[in-house]
């Protein structure tokens, strides 16, 4: 009987670990979706600001509205977009790591290419020069 208890405890612990990591992945995906929606709203706001010819515009911070020069608001929105993009990239990396951890716990093979990162602009320029495209 004690052997069955040990096996049952190990099984429960294993299932708990798998479910915890799976829940983390789902939570991170939900956060990513919320950030992506915020990113889209900020891009829409920036596009609207670019189309306006008003010298001043209104900005909402919490429950307060502030009237500022449109150029200053554009700068603030661009900074917010950069912060959100950094947050999205961070969440993508966390989701990749947690997904790999989940696959490891489930004894599934790793997904090839999941950890690949895109070529940066500097690297792309260097490659183009090396191959004579520019």
Q: What is the pLDDT of residue 3?
A: 64
Domain containing residue 59: 6-102
Total domains in the fold of the chain: 1
Q: What is the CATH number of the domain that holds 73?
A: 1.10.287.370
Q: Is residue 123 part of a domain?
A: no
Does 45 fall in a domain? yes
Look at residue 49 and tell me if it is in a domain. yes
Q: Indicate whether 82 belongs to any domain.
A: yes
Q: pLDDT band for position 126 (50/70/90)?
A: very high
Q: What pLDDT, in 10s, does the model give residues 23-77?
A: 999 999 999 999 999 999 999 999 999 998 999 999 998 999 999 999 999 999 9
Cα torsion 26, 27, 29, 34 to 10°: value is: 140
Do 35 and 91 touch, CB atoms closer than 8 A? yes
94 three-state secondary structure:
helix
Domain contains 46: yes
| Any domain includes 108 | no
Is 133 part of any domain?
no
The verdict on residue 12 lying in a domain is yes
pLDDT digit string, tens, across residues 76-120: 999 999 999 999 999 999 999 999 999 998 888 888 887 777 888
């Amino acid at each position: 009987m004690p052997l069955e208890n040990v096996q049952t405890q190990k099984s429960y612990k294993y299932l708990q670990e798998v479910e915890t990591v799976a829940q983390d992945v789902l939570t991170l995906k939900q956060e990513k979706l919320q950030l992506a929606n915020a990113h889209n709203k900020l891009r829409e706001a920036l596009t609207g600001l670019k189309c306006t010819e008003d010298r001043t515009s209104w900005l909402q911070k919490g429950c307060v509205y502030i009237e500022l020069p449109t150029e200053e608001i554009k700068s603030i929105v661009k900074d917010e977009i950069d912060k959100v993009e950094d947050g999205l990239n961070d969440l993508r990396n966390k989701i990749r790591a947690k997904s790999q951890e989940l696959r490891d716990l489930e004894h599934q093979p790793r997904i090839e290419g999941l950890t690949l990162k895109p070529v940066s602009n500097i690297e792309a320029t260097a490659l183009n020069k090396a191959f004579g495209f520019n």
